[in-house]
Amino acid sequence: MHYQALIMKISTVIGGIIAIICFFFAVIFGLAASVQATTTRLAVSIVLFLIGMVVIAGVWYLNRRPKTVVQRLEVSGRMAAAQIKCPNCGGSINADQIKITQGVPYVKCPYCGTTFEVTEEPKW
């Protein structure tokens, strides 16, 4: 995973350098088009500008992918798995059905369809 981030950073830097070079030469050819051979130089200027825009769009597309967030839970002491029951129908809930939404664990009962928040009962 670390190498993928490094490759993304390197491709962003290389893409930025290529885009800057294309824009620089597009401006040079655009200015030169006002002096002599206007059609050819202006066409080259437009092509270089479009190449620079395509490179920027490609770098943006590569970097806009969703980032994976890993959540870890640290508990103090030993932890024993307790059976979770639906408060509505009393059906047993599998731990694989727990989904974390905005940091709060929720579960949907497969029997009655009730969605409820999983809370930790105090030990005292």
pLDDT in tens, the chain (124 residues): 577 777 778 888 999 999 999 999 999 988 888 887 788 888 999 999 999 999 999 888 888 777 777 777 776 666 666 677 888 888 888 877 788 887 788 888 888 888 888 776 666 6
| Residue 29, C-beta contacts closer than 8 angstroms, at least 6 positions apart | 41, 42, 44, 45, 48
Distance CA 24, CA 28 (A): 6
